[in-house]
Structure 1
Amino acid sequence: MKAFFKYVLATITGILIFSVLMFFIMIGIIGAMVSSVGSKSETVTPSNAVLLINLDHAITEKTEPNPFENLDLPGYSGARSLGLNDMVSRIKAAKDDGNIKGIYLNVSGVNAGFPTAKAIREAILDFKTSGKFVVAFSDVMSQKGYYINSAADEIYLNPQGSLDFRGLATSVMFFKEAMDKLGIDMQILKVGTYKSAVEPFMMNSMSEANKEQVNSYLGSIYDTFLSDISASKKLSVDSLRGIANGYLIREPEDAKKYGFVNNLLYKDEVFAKIRAKLGIEEKKDIPYVSILDYTNKPSSGEAGGDRIAVLYAYGEIIDGEGMDGQIGGDKLSRELRQLRLDDKVKAVVLRVNSPGGSALASENIWREVDLTKKVKPVIVSMGDYAASGGYYISAAADSIFADPTTLTGSIGVFGMIPNFQKLFNEKLGVHFDAVKTAKFADMDVDMDRPLTEEEKTIIQGGVNKIYQVFMKRVADGRKLDVAYVDSIGQGRVWTGKQAVDLKLVDRVANLDEAIKAAAKKAKLDNYRVSEYPRMKDPFSSILSTSKEKIKIWMLEDELGDYVKYYSELKKVSKQSGIQARIPYLVEIY
């Protein structure tokens, strides 16, 4: 017994000493991070410099503070990323920066949707109006990568590299058979013929309605993709379609033959051309400045005085506060309320990039948008997605602008309640028994039994009611009949270009045009553009970094691009209440 107490005491002592040591180590790490971030000096742009754009990093809608950036932590690479907002603003600044003589695009792929790629491409095209050069080179070019590179004056490909050009495609992962084998029955309650977010859990392939809508919006995106490349490369759209249909670009020589690239060169040969443009000697290094390090920004307008607020709402819509990369219903509502009460803010541009999420959180945000519109102009600018809940929160705005390839609409709702009875009873041998004081006390709480028909009817009634409210919000905001909204709703996804014809969107326009429209509606000639939510200071970023986000960062380091499938399944497992979401994870390649 004495030995037992001795071991227990030794264990407790060891744990206490370890805890104290870890506490001081963590304080040291946090102190070093704050000191590092706080003392970080701005990159000085040398004269005769070239802006390097390499998109092999994550591109979020808005730059997210990452206090662990560049730190060598176990299991975490500390990879850097940049938001679309800063990427576009830095290209704009480079256009007028006398030290920047040109852009070198080294783009293989793009870790973002087509609207994001188009926004970067348009910024490059605008940069070219300054008369400065843009040279693109890559060993390998994906279709999105070539889409951006096609904006360059000169495009070069490695003689042993590859250029992908064979049409767009998208695929869906289905889990129904796997769930059947596990003994999990996903009970689906939805409204909308095209509301296919639930299909991966109830089918093993796309429904005919889903194939119809995917063919429609994919074809619309493809039209824009081909049209933009056609305008830059002076190749007809019909020729481009023929090249893609025949898969005629299989070797680097084919890319040159059909006029997709200027020549096949190695990197050193491309660098020689850039040196010639800069007028520097062969032995001297080209003074590159990465867009990740370039700190110049264009003027945001007059300091003080009237402001136009650009409020970023990107990610899944969830109840509560949320974290970076999510739209927390409470947090975004609070931001809108503060902007509404700020007399210096004369108009709000709500930048939406969301596949949707919680119907209740969407309703709460809609309410704040509606209240703000009564006080000052509210213009919505749509990014990659503004669908389902993303459209819900946009519907009350004075005007809605979208990219032609934005995925929007998806006016419909659903609920999913898993039944684990077979898994528990037959696979694991686990059984449950319950006592309740009322007939429906355990409805949609106990997941160890199927819903009764009466319970399904009750829940379906709630889903139907939310759909009716959703349609009314759209009808009131867009000045349409509810019956018409229902006819183009039913959960169907449209592109921004299609949505203009359907009166769900006012016009195809980018964020800059949305800001100008907001200024015009607010009758402002001189104003300052301010971005919200405000960037956190380094110490606050460290304290607010959630365990979940750190876990995702580490998984990204291990799984790379495949982490998105884990994230999607994680979202489904945490869903509660009625959802207004776009169908599954839409990825076009």
Structure 2
Amino acid sequence: MKQFFKFVLATIVGIIVSTVIIVIIFVAIIGGIVASAGSDNAVNVESNSILHIDLKYAIPERTAKNPLADLGILGFGSEKSIGLKEILTNIKKAKTDDNIKGIFLDESYMAAGQATTEEIRNALLDFKKSKKFIVAYGEVFTQRFYYLASVADKVYINPKGYFEFNGFESKVTFFKGALDKLGIEAQVIKVGTYKSAVEPMILTKMSDANRLQVTSYLGSMYDHFLTSISKSRGINKDTLFNYANQMVIQQPEDALKYKLVDGLKYKDELLAELKTHLGVDQKKNINSIDLIDYGKADETAADASGNRIAVIYASGEIASGEGDDNSIGSETISKALRKVRTDSKVKAVVLRVNSPGGSSLASDVIWREVALTKKVKPIIVSMGDVAASGGYYIACAADSIIAQPNTITGSIGIFAILPNLQKLLTDKLGITFDGVKTGQFADLGDSSRPLTPAERAILQNMINHGYDDFTKAVATGRHKSQQYIDSIGQGRVWTGAQALKIGLVDRLGNINDAVKSAAKMAKLKDYKLVTYPEQKSVLSKLGESLSAEIKTRILQSELGEDYKVYEQIKNIKSKMRLPMARMEYDVVVE
């Protein structure tokens, strides 16, 4: 009994101590939020400064309101990020800021996609029109960072650094072997020769059709990559191709020899050159400000009339219900579209799409709202890194579609994957099932057994109907025949440059071009930009962040090393849904 009371007392003390610690942490967090909120706008830019751009963080479409980002308490929200919207705004602001004399583009292991990188590169090219300088430096140049850095007036690499220039690669991970070992069969129903979303579940290598389309769009992206660098560096495109193909650039000296960089310098030598360029005494420090701290520029071109152009951000996978900064909820985006459609001050709309697709039903819900908005006021789509499958579905009803040359788009197709777990459950685990049903198809979709031919026929008919709706919507929106859309559809993926040639997009450009196009259609000269969906409040975000972090940590604590397996299984399970208008996989080009 004495031992029992000892344990009870220890438990009570533990609960009290834990509660006190939690209260202290919560107070510290709230205090940090209040303190940081009070200093949000306290950005002091010294005269004769340089803007320091270092993009070693994720680049979403716009900066999320993360109250934990600057606190780092228990590791919560310790990763900082800045949105593409804010990056472009700050570079544009620096162009006319007399205190900013130039940009220092620092080494970046960029996690951004191809089109996002293109947007930033174009903003830097526009900045150069001010006659201010851009200097790029790095110890390691990845191909993506070099693509950005190639616009600089001077490009320097550390004498002992690494320079990557060897061509693009796109790799797909296949899970069939693992599923076979687990006794799981992926039962596939799809429409589209090129709709290869299902391939990782049923094949061990790329199909001929998928290899053809990947070769095509990867080649298009690489051609644009080489063409842009050729223009910036004054080196023939075929010569650049040969440099990469033969991998002649293996050392920093090679990069200098073949004129991809302008010099080999250690950091102190670079800083000394910058000081000379700025007229700063070598014994003094350079005035600089980080891009992430540079502050918000006034986004209002003019607002005398009270007119608005609404920019609606649709980023992430598409699903029914509410979304967040990293996903597209059909209800959230629909609400935003309805709000701007009925707001008399909003004269035009830009829908910014950065999505590989997702639920075909949710995509259709959003498509309907875009079509209704188009009847009331101009709506222009601006495509980001990817606007494919469901991402293209929600875009096709707009008045006009603008994409980057290296945007991934198209993938017009529908698929579904239903798991058959019979071998796993019965053969491996010894679990069996039995039951009663009142109709032949009452248990349609039961994952404990394979589909019957009749069930497969029903599901195929549903998918065919979905594909017919998809191609009909695209045909109507693009003013093409449904037969033609089918011929360029079939799940095939295109780059923005290719999509322009076949009529899936109207022009190549960035989000600013989309805003200008919307203003022109609405006949606006003076307007203010407003963004939707509205980002959640600090306290709401705090609650969600804490909840998500705690949930993850509990799972990690309970599962240990098996947490990674849990994440993989959850990912596979999420793909086995019915029906889907999603691109085959997330394209990663290296």
Q: Which residue of 1 aligns with 2:382?
A: 381
Conserved? CA contact 2:275–2:286, under 8 Å: yes
Once residues 341 and 441 of structure 1 are traced to their aligned partners in structure 2, the CA distance between those partners, rounded to angstroms, is 44
Once residues 549 and 316 of structure 1 are traced to their aligned partners in structure 2, the CA distance between those partners, rounded to angstroms, is 21
State the Cα deviation string for residues 200-249 of structure 1 (Å, max 9, x = none).
Answer: 00000000000000000001001110111011000011111111111110
Matched, 1:209 2:209: yes
Q: Which residue of 1 aligns with 2:85?
A: 85
State the Cα deviation string for residues 385-441 of structure 1 (Å, max 9, x = none).
Answer: 000000000010000010000000000011111111111122222222233332222
Q: Which residue of 1 aligns with 2:112?
A: 112
Structure 2 stretches of 5 or more lacking a match? Answer: 557-562
Q: Which residue of 2 aligns with 1:24?
A: 23
Once residues 542 and 316 of structure 1 are traced to their aligned partners in structure 2, the CA distance between those partners, rounded to angstroms, is 23
Once residues 533 and 68 of structure 1 are traced to their aligned partners in structure 2, the CA distance between those partners, rounded to angstroms, is 21
**Offset, 1:461:** 1.0
**Offset, 1:7:** 7.9
Q: Which residue of 1 aligns with 2:352?
A: 351
Task: Give the SS at the match of 2:130.
Answer: coil
**Offset, 1:531:** 1.9
Q: Which residue of 1 aligns with 2:37?
A: 38
Task: Give the SS at the match of 1:248.
Answer: coil
Q: Which residue of 1 aligns with 2:72?
A: 72
**Offset, 1:526:** 1.1
Conserved? CA contact 1:410–1:491, under 8 Å: yes
Identity of aligned residues (%): 48
Conserved? CA contact 1:354–1:385, under 8 Å: yes
Matched, 1:400 2:430: no
| Residues 269-288 of structure 1 aligned to structure 2 (within 5 Å) | 269-288=269-288
Q: Which residue of 2 aligns with 1:515?
A: 515
Q: Which residue of 1 aligns with 2:581?
A: 580
Conserved? CA contact 2:29–2:71, under 8 Å: no
Task: Give the SS at the match of 1:129.
Answer: helix
Structure 1 stretches of 5 or more lacking a match? Answer: 557-562
Task: Give the SS at the match of 1:74.
Answer: helix
Once residues 43 and 423 of structure 1 are traced to their aligned partners in structure 2, the CA distance between those partners, rounded to angstroms, is 59
Once residues 251 and 566 of structure 1 are traced to their aligned partners in structure 2, the CA distance between those partners, rounded to angstroms, is 42
Taking structure 1 as reference, are residues 568 and 369 closer, same or farther at Cα in structure 2, changes over 3 Å only? farther
Once residues 440 and 531 of structure 2 are traced to their aligned partners in structure 1, the CA distance between those partners, rounded to angstroms, is 51
Q: Which residue of 2 aligns with 1:439?
A: 440
**Offset, 1:369:** 0.3
Q: Which residue of 1 aligns with 2:454?
A: 454
Once residues 37 and 429 of structure 1 are traced to their aligned partners in structure 2, the CA distance between those partners, rounded to angstroms, is 57
Q: Which residue of 1 aligns with 2:144?
A: 144
Conserved? CA contact 2:140–2:163, under 8 Å: yes
Taking structure 1 as reference, are residues 348 and 551 closer, same or farther at Cα in structure 2, changes over 3 Å only? farther
Taking structure 1 as reference, are residues 229 and 111 closer, same or farther at Cα in structure 2, changes over 3 Å only? same
Conserved? CA contact 1:322–1:331, under 8 Å: yes
Once residues 387 and 569 of structure 1 are traced to their aligned partners in structure 2, the CA distance between those partners, rounded to angstroms, is 25
| Residues 193-272 of structure 1 aligned to structure 2 (within 5 Å) | 193-272=193-272
Q: Which residue of 1 aligns with 2:158?
A: 158
**Offset, 1:185:** 0.7
Taking structure 1 as reference, are residues 8 and 554 closer, same or farther at Cα in structure 2, changes over 3 Å only? closer
Conserved? CA contact 1:190–1:413, under 8 Å: yes
Q: Which residue of 1 aligns with 2:293?
A: 293
**Offset, 1:296:** 4.1
Once residues 379 and 519 of structure 1 are traced to their aligned partners in structure 2, the CA distance between those partners, rounded to angstroms, is 10
Could you tell me which amino acid in structure 1 is paired with residue 87 of structure 2? M
| Residues 177-192 of structure 1 aligned to structure 2 (within 5 Å) | 177-192=177-192
Once residues 333 and 555 of structure 1 are traced to their aligned partners in structure 2, the CA distance between those partners, rounded to angstroms, is 34
**Offset, 1:62:** 1.3
Taking structure 1 as reference, are residues 481 and 272 closer, same or farther at Cα in structure 2, changes over 3 Å only? same
Deviates more, 1:298-307 or 1:115-124: 298-307
**Offset, 1:577:** 2.5
**Offset, 1:544:** 4.0
Conserved? CA contact 1:372–1:378, under 8 Å: yes
Q: Which residue of 2 aligns with 1:560?
A: none
Taking structure 1 as reference, are residues 336 and 580 closer, same or farther at Cα in structure 2, changes over 3 Å only? same
Q: Which residue of 2 aligns with 1:311?
A: 312
Q: Which residue of 2 aligns with 1:480?
A: 480
Conserved? CA contact 1:227–1:237, under 8 Å: yes
Conserved? CA contact 1:568–1:585, under 8 Å: no
Once residues 566 and 212 of structure 1 are traced to their aligned partners in structure 2, the CA distance between those partners, rounded to angstroms, is 33
Q: Which residue of 2 aligns with 1:559?
A: none
**Offset, 1:567:** 6.8
Conserved? CA contact 2:308–2:530, under 8 Å: yes
| Paired residues, number | 581
Once residues 552 and 23 of structure 1 are traced to their aligned partners in structure 2, the CA distance between those partners, rounded to angstroms, is 17
Once residues 465 and 91 of structure 2 are traced to their aligned partners in structure 1, the CA distance between those partners, rounded to angstroms, is 47
Once residues 208 and 242 of structure 2 are traced to their aligned partners in structure 1, the CA distance between those partners, rounded to angstroms, is 27
**Offset, 1:76:** 4.5
**Offset, 1:109:** 2.8
Could you tell me which amino acid in structure 2 is paired with residue 401 of structure 1? I
**Offset, 1:34:** 2.8
Could you tell me which amino acid in structure 2 is paired with residue 24 of structure 1? V
Q: Which residue of 2 aligns with 1:329?
A: 330
Once residues 295 and 78 of structure 1 are traced to their aligned partners in structure 2, the CA distance between those partners, rounded to angstroms, is 20
Conserved? CA contact 1:388–1:412, under 8 Å: yes
Taking structure 1 as reference, are residues 461 and 130 closer, same or farther at Cα in structure 2, changes over 3 Å only? same
Deviates more, 1:516-525 or 1:104-113: 104-113
Task: Give the SS at the match of 1:476.
Answer: helix
Q: Which residue of 2 aligns with 1:495?
A: 495
Task: Give the SS at the match of 2:69.
Answer: coil
**Offset, 1:74:** 2.9
Could you tell me which amino acid in structure 2 is paired with residue 380 of structure 1? V
**Offset, 1:358:** 0.6
So what's the TM-score if we normalise by structure 2?
Answer: 0.94
Task: Give the SS at the match of 2:392.
Answer: helix
So what's the TM-score if we normalise by structure 1?
Answer: 0.94
Conserved? CA contact 1:43–1:295, under 8 Å: yes
State the Cα deviation string for residues 465-521 of structure 1 (Å, max 9, x = none).
Answer: 111000000000001101100000000000001001111100111111111110111
Q: Which residue of 1 aligns with 2:530?
A: 530
Conserved? CA contact 1:300–1:530, under 8 Å: no
| Residues 111-130 of structure 1 aligned to structure 2 (within 5 Å) | 111-130=111-130
**Offset, 1:22:** 6.0
Conserved? CA contact 1:230–1:236, under 8 Å: yes
Deviates more, 1:104-113 or 1:411-420: 104-113
Task: Give the SS at the match of 1:28.
Answer: helix
Task: Give the SS at the match of 1:334.
Answer: helix
Deviates more, 1:482-491 or 1:74-83: 74-83
Once residues 507 and 116 of structure 1 are traced to their aligned partners in structure 2, the CA distance between those partners, rounded to angstroms, is 17
Conserved? CA contact 1:59–1:82, under 8 Å: yes
Deviates more, 1:124-133 or 1:26-35: 26-35
Task: Give the SS at the match of 1:250.
Answer: coil
Task: Give the SS at the match of 2:293.
Answer: coil
**Offset, 1:46:** 1.0
Once residues 554 and 259 of structure 2 are traced to their aligned partners in structure 1, the CA distance between those partners, rounded to angstroms, is 42
Once residues 549 and 228 of structure 1 are traced to their aligned partners in structure 2, the CA distance between those partners, rounded to angstroms, is 42
Once residues 50 and 422 of structure 2 are traced to their aligned partners in structure 1, the CA distance between those partners, rounded to angstroms, is 62
* RMSD of aligned Cα (Å): 2.4
Taking structure 1 as reference, are residues 550 and 482 closer, same or farther at Cα in structure 2, changes over 3 Å only? farther
Taking structure 1 as reference, are residues 313 and 166 closer, same or farther at Cα in structure 2, changes over 3 Å only? same
